[in-house]
Structure 1
């Protein structure tokens, strides 16, 4: 029975890896495309954060897909077969998770200040500040992830684990559950709630209708992204914290198989956090839906049709035989 459950867990992990990759590539590409092509988003800090977050999620989707392919080939993620891949896998995964999570938190903070009643608060975050903040945070997470991956080594039974006991304690009790989990979730939730409260009073401010609508849209989209982060991250984080205190050991096959199945399901939900933001924006934001429709259907679809028509019209057709015969010299057949 335990073997069957483990087989189900393995098949579920492989199939959901393909689903995650497909949704991530399409959704995050469209997010980046729309945010960079529309003029109203180009100098907006929140749109910049969501664009950068979509880029990190796009790269994370590639990592998940690579792991899925290796698992289907070798029966595991192949981290125990190559030290370079062992370290790079955990380096890239932690870097992208940290960068993505804190970028969402920055977007929530930005919307709180951008929608505040006080003018001085609204001047705290600019597009230049946003770029500096994201650049600084990425540099910090790169250094942290490099140090993190150097402690990984291949140990017995093809396992890629942290070999240093002190750093293992740091990762188990602080780095993953707090630094990469609860801290960005709490920051994003707290400032997302404050930003939502601010935007309800935005009508009282002396703003143009266009700016007011954009602020409301970006606050709503940032709030949706925060809700996704909280709902899809907390179950996985909670289970990881639980298994840290109550380890799931292979010596008990049935419990281990059930725990493995629960883990792959929660890990799939955790990966959806970096996959479905575009689809959620389209569902819950009518303005974003119109913007996507405008740029994809009205602009680029028409441009593509014009290009196809131009190519079709410029094709050189075969010569007309009848015309060719009428233009022949009548004395040529003599």
Structure 2
């Protein structure tokens, strides 16, 4: 039977190695997502791709702020959250990024349903930009409460206001970040799947049909992973919320399970690019096209242009020193 020290060591190792792995692949995948979605015209003109691009940017922000700090704290015993200003900033950034990211994914799923229905006029970039702006402002105001109520006491960053503590622990985490977005994602993903199956029987442009099917396939597989990643954390959080114990072994065991579930939830920010590659053959070809043709072509064009603009020196060789008539070779 493992001891408390074994469990603490396991918690530290899991956070350090698994957390760093999630962070590294997440940043690489997020950058590639942004490059592909912003480079290709077929994605730049698609509302769903706009939501996915914004979600990739916010997801990278979440990884670089909250996950990185958690790795320092639990994996290397360096906790900057013991400072008051960092405690408040950390939870503000964490709540805002998570709220905006979940909203972006929900909007992307809803938009994909609208784009394949008679309400297709509601799926346009101008409305999408307004929705994202409203979401950013709304969640910014909502996250301001973390700056007010999160505090430090004896080096511990926590909520000490009883009313906000109940609101945060019983509503924000299990409902706003758990059950509510899960319900929206599952319902509209099923609707998007149904719409995609019936889209081929309609008189639809071939290019639009191919693009909608590609985005639907990418989105549905990714939503499936998000649901799988959120359910363990939400379920275990609800369990420990109603658990009252002072047994140190149980507390450390729950801490290890909590860390594993929250790292799994963090992985949903990291795996989007890799899921898109697995779910869509067309996306893999677009990746090769962007990286191989566009960026390599630009690099080659820059090299050729630099060589063409280079002034070659004139070399003078004195082949006949007796008659003082040099020959110039460019």
Asked if these proteins are the same fold (TM beyond 0.5), I'd say yes
- Superposition deviation, residue 131 in structure 1: 1.0
- The question of 1:122 aligning with 2:115 is answered no
CA gap 1:252/1:201 in 2 versus in 1, 3 angstroms? same
Q: Which of 58, 62, 65 matches 1:63?
A: 65
Q: Deviations over 1:233-281 (max 9, x none)?
A: 111111111111115x6x4232222222212211111110111100000
- Superposition deviation, residue 317 in structure 1: 8.1
Consecutive unaligned residues in structure 2, runs of 5 or more: 326-330
User: Distance in 2 between the 1:231 and 1:126 partners?
Assistant: 30
Are 1:57 and 1:274, in contact at CA under 8 Å, matched by a contact in 2?
yes
SS in 1 for 2:80: coil
Match of 1:242 in 2: 239
Q: Which of 210, 216, 231 matches 1:213?
A: 210
Counting matched residue pairs gives 323
* Counterpart mapping for 1:24-43 below 5 A: 24-43=26-45
Match of 1:5 in 2: 7
Are 1:3 and 1:257, in contact at CA under 8 Å, matched by a contact in 2?
no
CA gap 1:194/1:327 in 2 versus in 1, 3 angstroms? farther
* Counterpart mapping for 1:261-276 below 5 A: 261-276=256-271
CA gap 1:316/1:204 in 2 versus in 1, 3 angstroms? same
Are 2:12 and 2:75, in contact at CA under 8 Å, matched by a contact in 1?
no
- Superposition deviation, residue 38 in structure 1: 0.4
User: Distance in 1 between the 2:17 and 2:34 partners?
Assistant: 26
Are 1:18 and 1:68, in contact at CA under 8 Å, matched by a contact in 2?
no
Consecutive unaligned residues in structure 1, runs of 5 or more: none
- The question of 1:133 aligning with 2:128 is answered no
Q: Which of 291, 306, 319 matches 1:326?
A: 319
Match of 2:221 in 1: 224
User: Distance in 2 between the 1:331 and 1:113 partners?
Assistant: 84
User: Distance in 1 between the 2:143 and 2:159 partners?
Assistant: 13
Are 1:17 and 1:64, in contact at CA under 8 Å, matched by a contact in 2?
no
CA gap 1:308/1:68 in 2 versus in 1, 3 angstroms? farther
User: Distance in 1 between the 2:223 and 2:114 partners?
Assistant: 16
Q: Deviations over 1:108-141 (max 9, x none)?
A: 111111112xx3x222232111111111011110
Match of 1:284 in 2: 279
Are 1:106 and 1:188, in contact at CA under 8 Å, matched by a contact in 2?
no
User: Distance in 1 between the 2:223 and 2:127 partners?
Assistant: 21
* Counterpart mapping for 1:247-266 below 5 A: 247=244, 251-266=246-261
- Superposition deviation, residue 58 in structure 1: 1.1
Query: What's the C-alpha RMSD, in Å, of the aligned pairs?
Result: 2.3
